[in-house]
């Protein structure tokens, strides 16, 4: 009797441990995207200085393919902060090529737009500023 219950307990433990390993190992959350950004802490109020910096970067590095209110080469970026997580948006800006290959959401966009978004040589801080600009458009 004792042996059997030990065995059962051990197999339950094994199942629990392997499902944790699955969740944290290979089970990437598609809504977070793939790239250097794992967590973004947002202040509920938009920082207008940062958003202004983001607009400057956007107007130089993104307008060839994006408009805010209309689709151009890529999607219109109005309400992007409502449909995507901040981590996903920053990872898309910083790592678009891997995103369109390995992230389900970006893969679907690529299938629709049929053009590869390219990395625009932005730093993580610059990507954060662009995110703030998007937040200011969407509030």
Q: Which is nearer to ligand HEC, 7 or 101 (CB)?
A: 101
Query: What is the closest distance, in whole angstroms, from the C-beta atom of residue 6 to ligand HEC in the complex?
Result: 51
- CB neighbour list of residue 70: distance below 8 Å, 6 or more residues apart: 76
Query: What is the closest distance, in whole angstroms, from the C-beta atom of residue 27 to ligand HEC in the complex?
Result: 22
Q: How far is Cα 52 from Cα 130, in angstroms, rounded to an integer?
A: 9
The first and second tokens of residue 95, run together, are 């790592």
For residue 61, how many other CB atoms are within 10 A of its CB? 17
Q: Which is nearer to ligand HEC, 34 or 80 (CB)?
A: 80
Query: What is the closest distance, in whole angstroms, from the C-beta atom of residue 80 to ligand HEC in the complex?
Result: 5
| Cβ–Cβ under 8 Å, residues 131 and 81 | yes
Q: Given the rule CB under 6 A, which residues bind ligand HEC?
A: 58, 61-62, 64-66, 73-75, 77, 80, 84, 89, 92-93, 96, 100, 106, 109-110, 113, 115-118, 120, 122, 130
| Cβ–Cβ under 8 Å, residues 124 and 37 | yes
Query: What is the closest distance, in whole angstroms, from the C-beta atom of residue 65 to ligand HEC in the complex?
Result: 3
């Amino acid at each position: 009797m004792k042996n059997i219950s030990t065995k059962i307990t051990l197999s339950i433990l094994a199942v629990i441990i392997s499902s944790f390993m699955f969740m944290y190992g290979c089970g990437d959350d598609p809504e977070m995207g793939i790239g250097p950004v794992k967590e973004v802490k947002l202040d509920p109020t938009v920082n207008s200085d940062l958003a202004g910096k983001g607009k400057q970067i956007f107007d130089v590095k993104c307008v060839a393919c994006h408009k805010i209110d209309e689709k151009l080469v890529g999607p219109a970026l109005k309400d992007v902060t409502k449909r995507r997580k901040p981590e996903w948006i920053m990872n898309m800006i910083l790592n678009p090529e891997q995103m369109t290959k390995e992230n389900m959401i970006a893969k679907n966009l690529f299938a629709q737009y049929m053009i590869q978004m390219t990395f625009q040589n932005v730093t993580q801080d610059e990507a954060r500023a662009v995110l703030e600009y998007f937040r200011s458009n969407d509030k």
